[in-house]
């Protein structure tokens, strides 16, 4: 409804509403999220799964240095999509909040509590001048008193709780795949399978173990854990999304 010239007039400063009530800088930060490779979260009956596309552009780069999935506390993992350096700031914030909770209350922080502390932090950067919004979305996955929980944060600072969700590139395609194939009663292994299959849907040449990250928190141990490269290769192979050698190494700009 608004022409392009008019839109430009309202998108330069974060503290300004457009005549139709939108915050363009926050919407542009969402575009930065879409420019990042995909991350997926899936809540299953016995735990939560995080999976992320972390292909790098060069065989000389250490795959482990492409940071998409982080351990925030023993029982919480966080996957990100978007501006990598911004993600690191929020992950650090999350870790500090988790530690403060241990120190202050002698117990592990709740998943919802942590999520809301992060979204409050994000919101400040959308209302007060002098800084830009965070150009990153997070998936916060964990187990709280035996219950698996999965949250998303977006650049506006809104928290959402999901059964299954994806952030970053190809969000629409992956969501369609998840909506079709997700079942609330699936177990953790089925969840991992669904996640890698969804990633495979949007990577036609298949996935390499080095090119993806997977993490889980199960309801029994309540511990963040990541499969070994060998285990990952087996999983990818089992779900028919393992790339043949050479294919997975294509460039990412």
Residues that bind a second copy (rule: CB under 8 A) add up to a total of 75
Stretch binding a second copy (CB under 8 A), from 59-67, 189-197, 216-224, 225-233: 59-67
Instruction: Name which of 166 and 216 has its Cβ closer to a second copy.
Output: 166
CB 143 within 8 A of CB 217: yes
The structure tokens 């060069």 sit at 58
Give me the torsion for CA of 234, 48, 252, 168, rounded to 10°.
150
Q: Binding of a second copy at residue 175 (CB under 8 A)?
A: yes
**Ramachandran region, residue 106 (left: φ > 0; alpha: ψ -120 to 50; beta: rest):** left
**Ramachandran region, residue 246 (left: φ > 0; alpha: ψ -120 to 50; beta: rest):** left
Task: Give min distance, CB of 238 to a second copy, in A.
Answer: 24
Q: Binding of a second copy at residue 9 (CB under 8 A)?
A: yes
Instruction: Name which of 35 and 102 has its Cβ closer to a second copy.
Output: 35
Instruction: Name which of 219 and 234 has its Cβ closer to a second copy.
Output: 219
Q: Binding of a second copy at residue 23 (CB under 8 A)?
A: yes
Task: Give min distance, CB of 245 to a second copy, in A.
Answer: 16
Q: Binding of a second copy at residue 193 (CB under 8 A)?
A: no
Considering only residues 130 through 149, tell me which ones interact with a second copy, judged by CB under 8 A: 130-135
Instruction: Name which of 91 and 109 has its Cβ closer to a second copy.
Output: 91
Q: Which of 214, 234, 240 is nearest to 63 (CA)?
A: 214
Instruction: Name which of 176 and 238 has its Cβ closer to a second copy.
Output: 176
Pairing of strands 39-44, 47-53: antiparallel
Q: Binding of a second copy at residue 126 (CB under 8 A)?
A: yes
Q: 202: burial class by Cβ within 10 Å (0-12, 13-18, 19+)?
A: middle
């Amino acid at each position: 409804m608004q022409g392009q010239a008019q839109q430009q007039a309202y998108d330069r400063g974060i503290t300004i509403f457009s005549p139709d009530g939108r915050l363009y800088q926050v919407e542009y930060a969402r575009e930065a999220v879409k420019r990042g490779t995909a991350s997926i979260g899936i809540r299953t009956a016995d735990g939560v799964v995080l999976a992320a596309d972390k292909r790098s552009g060069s065989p000389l780069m250490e795959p482990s240095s492409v940071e998409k999935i982080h351990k925030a506390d023993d029982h919480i993992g966080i996957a990100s999509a978007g501006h990598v350096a911004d993600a690191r700031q929020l992950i650090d914030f999350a870790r500090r909040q988790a530690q403060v909770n241990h120190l202050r209350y002698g117990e592990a922080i709740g998943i919802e509590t942590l999520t809301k502390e992060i979204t409050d932090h994000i919101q400040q950067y959308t209302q007060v001048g002098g800084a830009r919004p965070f150009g990153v979305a997070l998936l916060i996955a964990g187990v709280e008193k035996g219950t698996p929980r999965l949250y998303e944060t977006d650049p506006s600072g809104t928290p959402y709780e999901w059964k299954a969700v994806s952030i970053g590139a190809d969000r629409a395609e992956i969501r369609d795949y998840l909506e079709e194939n997700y079942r609330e009663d699936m177990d953790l292994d089925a969840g991992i399978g669904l996640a890698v299959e969804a990633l495979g849907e949007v990577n036609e040449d298949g996935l390499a173990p080095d090119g993806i990250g997977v993490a889980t928190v199960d309801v029994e141990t309540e511990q963040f854990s990541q499969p070994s490269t060998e285990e990952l290769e087996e999983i990818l192979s089992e779900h028919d999304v393992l790339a043949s050698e050479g294919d997975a190494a294509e460039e990412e700009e």
